Chain A
Amino acid sequence: MKPAPTLSSAFLESAGQSLPEALLELRKQRGTALVDMPLPTRKTENWKYSSKYLKLTDDMASTLPSEGKALSGQEVPGYRIVFLNGVIQPQASELPQVDGIRVASFRDLDDQEAAELADQLDNTLDDKAVQLARLNAARFEDGLLIRLQPDAVLDQPLFVIHEVTADASGSAFPRIFVDAGRHSQATLVEEYRSSGAEPVMVNTVTEFKLADGANITNVRLTMEGENVQHIGATGVRQQRNARFESHTVGFGGPLRRHDLQVRLEGEGGECKLNGVVVTQGKQHFDNHTTIEHVAAHCNSEETYRNIAADQSHAVFNGRIHIHQDAQKSNADMNNKNLLLSNGAEIDTKPELEIYADDVKCAHGATIGQLDEISLFYLVSRGIARREANVLLTMAFINELVEQIPLETVRETAHTRLNQFFDQTFQEV
């Protein structure tokens, strides 16, 4: 029998030493834990549809250089942090100066802050479930720390631009940690982009800790090129009455994987997770979400839409776990899927584990195609077929795009969607 493939040791050789001692130490420990880590295969339950897209060659093991590269992202107005190949670029960034809000690069932390952070990192994610994203903790070269003091309010959204320059093969490991104090509020937008054409991996982890009453919105735009394998994980832990809202807009690639794990640990917590995923050509996108209702009286609402064209492949796995003490939980999960071609594939799976008896839990998943009769109705009014296709496809996701709280992000999404439509619906 062939031995199961394991993560090549090349991926565990980390180079940069620019982090504070405590974080270097953490990184080393996490690396040791990954020696001989099995790579997901077809037989790995939560990777069964996606393992075939994963292609980690040894020349992707090196860290992409972050020096001497042209900087982008400056066109983004307001507060912004630019990560280039996993390292924050202070010259290109515009940090908020707001009372009670600390925004810093991991590299700039003093020993005590670094030690505190080392204790907190990686506590929001379930190691077993995220697998490959664990590599981030063994390899990160930098990171963004955001600490919101109690009642602090970030007056404008903070944009984090994750740029990867793929002029050579390699990987980038950006990381964000948000510690939101009681009743603090912030909106964080993550935008993933790339330039260059060599095969690279982006391995990214974002964590949110929400104290009582904190209110955080996270927007995630995944838009890297056709050469970028994206492995991302977002972990969220919420205390009493905390509210977390996430809006994902993702465009496919050779491999796209996002794990989103939310733990509702205090009563009255609430999360709303929206996702729009669009794939075409031979692209792939896999969203795995988990909502843990640990405490009673929490609400979760999840709405994901996949649109797959050509021979592309989208995967959605939504797990809701209602713990024994989580009485009066309210969980609503909805996943609708649109196949724009016979060659496209969408795999969707809701997973409910309910151990409390007094809960409301609804879920639904559908897979369909554009409705012929609706299409006929539209073209019978003189509307061009391409336009009619676009109208109906947009109708499928409009509600979610409109809910994205920022105009500029909606515009970015629309621009990319239009490119998708141009390539998918040919003029006739």
Chain B
Amino acid sequence: MLSIKNLHASVEGKEILKGINLEIKAGEVHAIMGPNGSGKSTLSQVLAGNEAFEVTEGEVTLNGENLLDLETEERAREGIFLAFQYPVEIPGVSNLQFLRTAVNAMRTHRGEEEMNAAEFMKLAKEVSKQVDLDPSFLKRGVNEGFSGGEKKRNEIMQALLLQPKLAILDETDSGLDIDALKVVSDGVNALRSEDRAILMVTHYQRLLNHIVPDYVHVLAGGKIIKSGGRELALELEEKGYGWLGIKDEETADSAAN
């Protein structure tokens, strides 16, 4: 489904991604772990099309189609969804209006009829229940004044509404209490299906108890330096990143700069 080859990306002239290679097939769940600042969010944002990051080398295809040629909104319509590490607050745009506009944009793209306000309200209420957000959150500004955990649940609500092909979840588990983690994990598991792939960035192995990944990758210094199965996460939890020689590599890197 998603194929990343030798992806390099930089921001403000500084190279962050230094040759990422990753293959994700439909139905798979991949976890990406790695130290702070290693480029996990950058990778997520580049895939979603954030123009603040410049792709300098490499290619990314989604079901054979060149993803990097597409505008952000086109990528979304082709099925890319990014749950932001830091969801954006947009006062003055109601959550309901935002969600409905997004859902209808997707429907129009698929040649389906738009949902009217009443139909959408019904759907939105159901889905908000699924992520344990009170329907009153639909009336508020987008993420406006939401707590950290509420923002994350709002992201999952969007994923459930938009039904993407590839869901990229950037630390959607961070800042969640135990109950919320369960709610969010259930939401993600509800998304799991044969024709959908999930790429989740996390620092915690505890999420992986709820959402069992097929593969775990370690991203450090802008490269994937190790890949493995679910057991790699346990190993990381136990030993930290030191044993992978990350410190050394990073020092070498910065010395070279």
Q: Is B90 touching A382 in the complex (CB atoms < 8 A)?
A: no
Interface stretch among A4-12, A153-161, A315-323, A368-376?
Answer: A368-376
With A377-B88, A382-B162, A396-B92 already in contact, the answer to whether A391 and B101 are too (CB < 8 A) is yes
| Of the residues B71, B106, B141, contact of A379 by C-beta under 8 Å | B71
- Closest residue of B by beta carbon distance from A372: B52
Interface size on B, residues (CB 8 A): 31
Q: Is B88 touching A384 in the complex (CB atoms < 8 A)?
A: no
Indicate if A356 sits at the interface (CB-CB under 8 A). Answer: no
With A372-B52, A374-B88, A395-B92 already in contact, the answer to whether A379 and B73 are too (CB < 8 A) is yes
Indicate if B212 sits at the interface (CB-CB under 8 A). Answer: no
| Of the residues A378, A380, A382, A391, contact of B106 by C-beta under 8 Å | A382
Q: Is A379 touching B93 in the complex (CB atoms < 8 A)?
A: no
Q: Is A398 touching B92 in the complex (CB atoms < 8 A)?
A: yes
Indicate if A392 sits at the interface (CB-CB under 8 A). Answer: yes
Indicate if A383 sits at the interface (CB-CB under 8 A). Answer: yes
| Of the residues B51, B71, B97, contact of A391 by C-beta under 8 Å | B97
Residues of B within 8 A of A409 (CB): none
Residues of B within 8 A of A385 (CB): 71, 73
Query: For this complex, into which size category does the number of interface residues on chain A fall?
Result: 20 to 34
Q: Is A376 touching B105 in the complex (CB atoms < 8 A)?
A: no
Q: Is B72 touching A380 in the complex (CB atoms < 8 A)?
A: yes
Residues of B within 8 A of A428 (CB): 71
Mark contacts of B94-115 with chain A using CB atoms, 8 A cut-off: 1 yes-contact digit, 0 otherwise. 0001100110011001000000
Indicate if A45 sits at the interface (CB-CB under 8 A). Answer: no
Indicate if A128 sits at the interface (CB-CB under 8 A). Answer: no
Q: Is A392 touching B90 in the complex (CB atoms < 8 A)?
A: yes
Indicate if B17 sits at the interface (CB-CB under 8 A). Answer: no
Q: Is B90 touching A377 in the complex (CB atoms < 8 A)?
A: yes
A7–chain B nearest beta-carbon distance, Å: 44
Q: Is A374 touching B73 in the complex (CB atoms < 8 A)?
A: no
Mark contacts of B78-95 with chain A using CB atoms, 8 A cut-off: 1 yes-contact digit, 0 otherwise. 000110100110111100
Q: Is B49 touching A380 in the complex (CB atoms < 8 A)?
A: yes
Indicate if B63 sits at the interface (CB-CB under 8 A). Answer: no
B residues near A (Cβ < 8 Å) are 48-52, 71-73, 75-77, 81-82, 84, 87-88, 90-93, 97-98, 101-102, 105-106, 109, 141-142, 158, 162
23 sampled A-B residue pairs with Cβ under 8 A: A373-B88, A374-B90, A376-B49, A376-B50, A376-B51, A376-B52, A377-B84, A377-B88, A378-B102, A379-B71, A379-B72, A379-B73, A379-B76, A380-B73, A381-B158, A383-B98, A383-B105, A392-B90, A394-B93, A395-B91, A395-B141, A398-B92, A399-B92
5 A-B pairs with least C-beta separation: A395-B92, A382-B76, A381-B102, A377-B88, A379-B73
